[in-house]
Amino acid sequence: MKRTLTLILTALVAAAVFGGLVYAVLAATDVSEPATTTVYGLTPRRFWATATAGLALVGVVIGGLALRRSAGRIGPRTGRSRAIAALAAGLIALVNGGLNLAMATGGPGTGNGVVGGAAALVLGLIGMALGGLALARSRRTV
């Protein structure tokens, strides 16, 4: 029971921190104000931002798996290749999220995909950090 409660509270705190970081990125890029007229549907920039955020999420998952198994019995090669994959996915997502935010002309609701771009930027940084930690751990065990 305590473990379940701890996991739920940890997930809630992580979600709150993630939301705060996304808002901080939106505020730093000066696109945090919502649009006066909302665009509905999937625009090309929203699709780009969503795909980039999905890639960043994959990078975070791969980085977490690589970090979990980098010092395990499976072998350093598997953890090392996963760490490199997480670094690559995180870097691609970071660059594309930043480009999406740099090209945005309005805030959330304008169809520019600024929320997805900010999420990709934050998740890309997290994926790169996890991949870097796993890569450093896999080098130590070799």
Split the chain (142 residues) into runs of 10 and give each run's mean pLDDT: 80 83 80 72 86 93 82 58 89 91 80 86 91 80 50
Q: Rounded to the nearest 10 degrees, what angle do helices 2-28 and 114-141 cross at?
A: 120
Instruction: Tell me the three state secondary structure of residue 5.
Output: helix
CA-to-CA dists, residue 54 to 49, 51, 127, 136, angstroms? 9, 5, 12, 25
Give the sign of the dihedral formed by CA 59, CA 64, CA 67, CA 70.
negative
And the tokens for 44? Answer: 């090309």
Phi and psi at 107, nearest 5°, equal: -90, -160
pTM to 2 decimal places: 0.78
